[in-house]
Amino acid sequence: MAVLDRKLRRDLWHLRGMVAAISLVLLGGIATFVMSRVTYQSLSVTQQRYYADQRFADVFVGLVRAPEAVAERLAALPGVNEVETRVTAVANLEIEGFDDPVTARIVSLPEHGEALLNVPWLRRGRLPDPHADHEVTVSDDFAAAHEFGPGDRITAVIKGRRKQFTVTGVTLSPEFMYAIPPGGIFPDHERYGILWMNRRALATALDMDGAFNDVSFSLQRGADARDVIDAVDVVLARYGGAGAYERADQFSHRFITEELRGLATMATVFPVIFLGVAAFLLNVVITRLIALEREQIGTLKAFGYETSAIARHYLKLVLAITSFGLAAGIGAGLWFARGMASVYQTFYSFPYLELYLAPAVFMQAVTVTLVAGLAGTALAVQRAASLPPAVAMRPEPPPMYRATILERAGLRRRLAEPSRMIVRHIARRPLRSGLTVLGISAAVGILMITNFQRDSIGWMIDVQYVLASREDMTVMFTDPTPRRALYSLEALDGVTLAEGFRAVPVRLVHGHHSYRTSVEGVEPGAELQRVLDMSLRPVPIPAEGVVLTEYLASEILRIEPGQMLRIEVLEGRREVLEVPVAGVTRQYLGVNAYLSRESLNRLLREGPAISGARLAVDPARQVEVYRELRRMPRVAGTVVRENSIKQFNEMMEQTILFFSLITALLGAFVAFGVVYNSARIALSERGRELASLRVLGFTRGEVGYILLGEIGLLTLLALPLGFAFGRALSAYLAAAFASDLYRIPLIVQPATYSLAASVVLISFAASAVLIWRRIAALDLVEVLKTRE
């Protein structure tokens, strides 16, 4: 088949424009598929290995203080494998040249040997010397934010006492991959860090010699975490245990897992759409491409080529065409996956990344491509080869056209001849026209996703920080503090308003549903922290009863207003309260329960105590206010709102938006591929007809209008459909992403629609220019010479 192979090579070269456009679409589909699957799988595998290597604990609990002997009782509990007691503390740090409030969680390292559980992973330097009192390692992100390295010094204020430490190394831990400062919502690597130091030194500073205030457990195989948790809570009740929780509730783990779940959703949805569109397009293009070869197929048959030999020839052609896109798609997908996985690696503080290349991913990519390509080929070759050669070699008989419904409905007189041709041509092949519209609208939908996320995130921030939390700073106290402390805060120069709040860690229980969070006691009539109703209007906090975040009420606790909620307080006297649900509040970030501060104080059988305060601060005096706050011994930490917003935006930029950006780029490929190929094939099919029109005196413009008008009309038809599709896709993603950490509202701004439409219209314009050049080059004489 040497000659046919030569034909193959020349045909490929001749078709290079279309081959490029098909490859582009395939590249988009395959690359998205490979990128998202490989990224997701790599991160999952890395997470598992990291947890196993660092012996991430199964159950965690914090407490006030227990003598070390209690550890033996804990170790003896059924189901417990290993127990690791620790001392932890929150400290304020002073960093030269950095005026913002910085807090740190200090975690003890065992006095002897390596940690049994939650082993820090050493990135640089060394762990503190077992006998050194003033050595610490710092968490990687925090070190990176301040460019800390071994030898640097940090001053920490622990329990009001200033101590200077030397940094010996930089460490990471599965426990703090997503580290949130007290009172904060997002990680803030500049203002919050984790420090590891020797237990004895830390215990001394905290008056914790021979005692601990934090325990982690690993469980025996098959043990039920719930049983262990119950037993641990019983043992630690008298030591101020704050309620044990399992790994699934560990905040950092939860967050990473939720994020990976979101990524998994994207890794399913996007590839399905992309690959679907690419496969469909490949199928259509190949079918039409081969339909154009009808005469050649007829000729080959006339000379005695068997149908199977001809089919093989075209299969090879299709394999060659698709292999470019497939290879490029896999290559690009891996390249993107590398980039994306390392973005996530940095963002989630994985110490390393295992790029996991599952053969199944490649097999699937290859299979989908081949099936789509070959099915199209088989169908078209079959159709062309089944014709008697005498028929195949004749030009196709004039296709059946009919006056369309539009025309019959009376538009006939309004449409000029060229417009009628467009309408009839579309109507003659409703399936094909419909598929083209679907392909383009899929591209529109994909393009909308990126901006939908941007829109929604913008809206989330507005709701959170403009409507609900309007403070400039949040101050957390070390312990519940009499409400009159507000006066000293208000007295600070620059503070214009101070509102106290009471927050207690609780477990909310309704039937067999439960959730650990904090209940917040809000001042009635508070201006800085407002509770919003479902229409996002601020509503006064009811004097009695608890208000729950809507997601918490409906999805987690399955409770309705009017029903009784059990609140198990996890500190102090550990009251168990029965409180009616007074209402629900709309909130996109986190889930909480709100009570009036007075009612919460009363339920806790305490005086007017607050856990912290929200401050409105004169922007010009922010730094001074912060300095004053740092001097106050009861202030455990301060969160500046502006930093929170900035952090949140950075986080979103890095993860979701990066993914979306690549998706949008690939979406643009798809849009161009669909439009260009449709136009290009239409030109091949109708070149003769159009040239004949030119001979009859039609101008290039008129002829161009007939061809491009059709694609243009289909593109326009595809826009509203694409908008609907994009919106549905956004709604699906919003629902898939919803968790107690955040809910993405379905917000699609007009700009999102117009951007998606613009990209598609630009693709159309670019295709039109390319096609126009071919129309201009139509050889009129040749057309008339070679056909009756």
Partner 1 sequence: MDSNVVFRARALTKVYKMGEVEVVALRGVDLDLCKGEFVVLLGPSGSGKSTLLNILGGLDSATSGEVHYAGHDLARATERELTEFRRDHVGFVFQFYNLIPSLTARENVAAVTEIARAPMKPEAALELVGMGARLDHFPAQLSGGEQQRVAIARAIAKNPAVLLCDEPTGALDSATGIVVLEAISRANRSLGTTTVVITHNVVIAGMADRVIRMADGRISGSERNTDRKEARELAW
| Interacting residue ranges for partner 1, rule: CB under 8 A | 1-4, 6-7, 10-11, 14, 295-296, 298-307, 309, 388-391, 393, 397, 400, 785-787
In sequence order, which residues have a C-beta less than 8 Å from that of residue 581 and are 6 or more positions away?
545, 546, 547, 548, 553, 559, 560, 561, 562, 563, 564, 565
Q: Among residues 742, 560, 553, 522, which one has the least CA distance to residue 531? A: 522
| Neighbour count for residue 419 (Cβ, 10 Å) | 17
Q: How far is the CB of 731 from partner 1 (least distance, A)?
A: 47
Nearer to partner 1, 311 or 579 (CB): 311
Q: How far is the CB of 299 from partner 1 (least distance, A)?
A: 4
Decide: helix, strand or coil at residue 185: coil
Nearer to partner 1, 3 or 431 (CB): 3
Give the CB-side neighbour count of residue 569, counting CA atoms within 13 A.
Answer: 19
Name residue 246's amino acid. E
Nearer to partner 1, 387 or 616 (CB): 387
Q: How far is the CB of 14 from partner 1 (least distance, A)?
A: 6
Q: Among residues 393, 401, 400, 395, which one has the least CA distance to residue 788? A: 395
Q: Among residues 583, 587, 612, which one has the least CA distance to residue 521? A: 612
Q: How far is the CB of 293 from partner 1 (least distance, A)?
A: 10
Q: Which two tokens stand for residue 292?
A: 């154009």
CA 179 to chain centre: 18
Tell me the C-alpha distance between 101 and 98, whole Å. Answer: 8
Nearer to partner 1, 292 or 577 (CB): 292
Nearer to partner 1, 399 or 525 (CB): 399
Q: How far is the CB of 681 from partner 1 (least distance, A)?
A: 18
Nearer to partner 1, 266 or 392 (CB): 392
Nearer to partner 1, 299 or 749 (CB): 299
Q: How far is the CB of 702 from partner 1 (least distance, A)?
A: 28
Q: How far is the CB of 297 from partner 1 (least distance, A)?
A: 10
Tell me the C-alpha distance between 54 and 115, whole Å. Answer: 9
Nearer to partner 1, 302 or 491 (CB): 302
In sequence order, which residues have a C-beta less than 8 Å from that of residue 42 and are 6 or more positions away?
337, 341, 353, 354, 355, 356
Strand partners, 499: 614
Nearer to partner 1, 135 or 293 (CB): 293
Nearer to partner 1, 309 or 695 (CB): 309
Tell me the C-alpha distance between 317 and 10, whole Å. Answer: 10
Q: How far is the CB of 306 from partner 1 (least distance, A)?
A: 5
Q: How far is the CB of 652 from partner 1 (least distance, A)?
A: 52
Tell me the C-alpha distance between 277 and 532, whole Å. Answer: 42
Nearer to partner 1, 6 or 261 (CB): 6
Q: Among residues 441, 265, 278, 446, which one has the least CA distance to residue 368? A: 278
Q: How far is the CB of 713 from partner 1 (least distance, A)?
A: 27
Q: How far is the CB of 422 from partner 1 (least distance, A)?
A: 23
Strand partners, 382: none
Q: How far is the CB of 752 from partner 1 (least distance, A)?
A: 46
Tell me the C-alpha distance between 246 and 225, whole Å. Answer: 6
Tell me the C-alpha distance between 118 and 218, whole Å. Answer: 10
Report the C-alpha dihedral over residues 545, 548, 550, 552, rounded to 10 degrees: -130
Strand partners, 135: 166
Nearer to partner 1, 299 or 654 (CB): 299
Nearer to partner 1, 6 or 161 (CB): 6
Nearer to partner 1, 308 or 514 (CB): 308
Q: How far is the CB of 295 from partner 1 (least distance, A)?
A: 7
| Neighbour count for residue 551 (Cβ, 10 Å) | 20
Secondary structure string (H, E, C) spanning 406-469: HHHHHHHHHCCHHHHHHHHHHHHCHHHHHHHHHHHHHHHHHHHHHHHHHHHHHHHHHHHHHHHE
Nearer to partner 1, 11 or 550 (CB): 11
Nearer to partner 1, 357 or 403 (CB): 403
Q: How far is the CB of 402 from partner 1 (least distance, A)?
A: 12
Q: Which two tokens stand for residue 715?
A: 């593109």
**What are residue 196's phi and psi, to 5 degrees?**
-110, 135
In sequence order, which residues have a C-beta less than 8 Å from that of residue 57 and are 6 or more positions away?
84, 117, 118, 175, 216, 217, 218, 247
Tell me the C-alpha distance between 501 and 182, whole Å. Answer: 14
For residues 344 and 255, the answer to whether their CB atoms sit within 8 Å is no
Q: How far is the CB of 391 from partner 1 (least distance, A)?
A: 7
Using alpha carbons only, give the angle 593, 599, 602 rounded to the nearest 5 degrees. Answer: 120
Q: How far is the CB of 18 from partner 1 (least distance, A)?
A: 15
Residue 621, CA distances (Å) to 482, 624, 627 in order = 26, 5, 10
Nearer to partner 1, 303 or 487 (CB): 303
Q: How far is the CB of 754 from partner 1 (least distance, A)?
A: 44
Tell me the C-alpha distance between 371 and 682, whole Å. Answer: 24
Nearer to partner 1, 51 or 305 (CB): 305
**Helix (H) / strand (E) containing 51:** helix 16-53
Decide: helix, strand or coil at residue 261: helix
Q: Among residues 633, 649, 631, which one has the least CA distance to residue 641? A: 649
- Find the distance separating the first CA and the last CA of the chain, reported in whole Å: 33
Q: How far is the CB of 46 from partner 1 (least distance, A)?
A: 50
